[in-house]
């Protein structure tokens, strides 16, 4: 069975600085998808960034980028130029390949605080 | 507007009183799913559906039922709620060939 582990329950970052959130996973599948979701106090789940396992290039979305290490089964999220609006709960998630089951596995989350 | 709706948004009930949380999407998505979110445990998948009349268990299906009689609706049924089902519940949907999930706004359930 697949597992997703986020070992940092809480992180803090100074406004305008860079922070990295860690995520490791375990799977026997060779093809899969990885995601980072943001959950602000409104509780809405917002997709931040995704990574297809077959792509070697790390995904980037504006100030958000990932460090995907397939062999190490590691998928960290880097937030550059942190803003107050980045304060939220962040969840790492795993999905089996498209065409397979619709199973998602989420990590336990990392609460990010942004200090002014 | 493309969206996933859930009702009710908040519910306080008593042990053993059957309840249904509705979920509806207007995007013609094939896939739908229910999650519960608990502090320190993240989101855990309860049930999912890959098409009408096709449902399957997620990681925490005990105490829950679902049905998918129409493509747009995927209600979550608690036949006999217990206090350990107090949680924040999310419904989500997606197209079969795409990775992105669209989440509903969440339902805060308290069972006393």
Residue B44 is predicted with a pLDDT of 97
**Residue B102: half-sphere exposure toward Cβ, Cα within 13 Å:** 20
Name which of A37, A45, A90 to mutate to probe chain B: the one with the most chain B Cβ atoms within 10 A of its Cβ.
A45
Residue A102 is predicted with a pLDDT of 84
User: pLDDT for A48-59, tens place per residue?
Assistant: 999 999 998 999
User: pLDDT for B19-41, tens place per residue?
Assistant: 999 999 999 999 999 999 999 99
User: pLDDT for B63-102, tens place per residue?
Assistant: 999 999 999 999 999 999 999 999 999 999 998 877 889 9
Element (H, E) at A108: none
User: pLDDT for A82-116, tens place per residue?
Assistant: 999 999 999 999 998 777 788 899 999 999 999 99
Residue A97 is predicted with a pLDDT of 78
Q: Kindly identify which residue of chain B lies nearest to residue A36, measuring between CA atoms.
A: B100
Name which of B43, B60, B96, B97 to mutate to probe chain A: the one with the most chain A Cβ atoms within 10 A of its Cβ.
B43
Spell out which residues of chain B touch residue A6, defining contact as CB-CB under 8 Å.
42
Residue A92 is predicted with a pLDDT of 98
Concatenated DSSP letters of A41-104? TT---EEEEEEETT--SPPEETTEEEEEETTTTEEEEEE-S--GGG-EEEEEEEEPPTTS---E
By three-state DSSP, how is residue A115 classified? Answer: strand
Apex CA A47: angle with CA A95 and CA A63, to 5°? 120
Among the partner residues A44, A104, A105, nearest to B105 by beta-carbon distance = A44
pLDDT surpassing 90 at residue A30: no
How would you class A111 by CB atoms within 10 Å of its CB: exposed for 0-12, middle for 13-18, buried for 19 or more?
Answer: middle
The answer to whether residue B50 neighbours chain A at the CB level (below 8 Å) is yes
Closest CA to A104 of A96, A112, A92, A114: A96
Residue A41 is predicted with a pLDDT of 94
Closest CA to A48 of A81, A99, A88: A88
Closest CA to A101 of A25, A33, A54, A49: A33
Spell out which residues of chain A touch residue B94, defining contact as CB-CB under 8 Å.
102
By three-state DSSP, how is residue B9 classified? Answer: coil
pLDDT band at residue B1 using 50, 70 and 90 as cut-offs: confident
Task: Round to the nearest angstrom and report the end-to-end CA distance of chain A.
Answer: 41
Residue A86 dihedral angles phi and psi, to the nearest 5°:
-80, -10
Task: Round to the nearest angstrom and report the end-to-end CA distance of chain B.
Answer: 36
């Amino acid at each position: 069975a697949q597992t997703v582990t986020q070992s940092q329950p809480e992180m803090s970052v100074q406004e305008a600085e860079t922070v990295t959130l860690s995520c490791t996973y375990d799977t026997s599948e060779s093809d899969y998808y990885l995601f980072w979701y943001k959950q602000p106090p409104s509780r809405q789940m917002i997709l931040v960034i995704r990574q297809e396992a077959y792509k070697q290039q790390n995904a980037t979305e504006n100030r958000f980028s990932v460090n995907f290490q397939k062999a190490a089964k590691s998928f960290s999220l880097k937030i550059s130029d942190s803003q107050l609006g980045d304060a939220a709960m962040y969840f790492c998630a795993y999905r089996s390949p498209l065409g397979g089951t619709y199973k998602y596995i989420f990590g336990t989350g990392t609460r990010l605080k942004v200090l002014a | 507007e493309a969206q996933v709706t859930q009702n009710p948004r908040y519910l306080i009930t008593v042990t053993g009183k059957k309840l249904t949380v509705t979920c509806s999407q207007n995007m013609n998505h094939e896939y739908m799913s229910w999650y519960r979110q608990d502090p320190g445990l993240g989101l855990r998948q309860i049930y999912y559906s890959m098409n009408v009349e096709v449902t399957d268990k997620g990681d925490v299906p005990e105490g829950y039922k679902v049905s998918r009689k129409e493509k747009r609706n995927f209600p979550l049924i608690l036949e006999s709620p217990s206090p350990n089902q107090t949680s924040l519940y999310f419904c989500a949907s997606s197209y079969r060939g795409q990775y992105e999930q669209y989440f509903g706004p969440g339902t805060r359930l308290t069972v006393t």
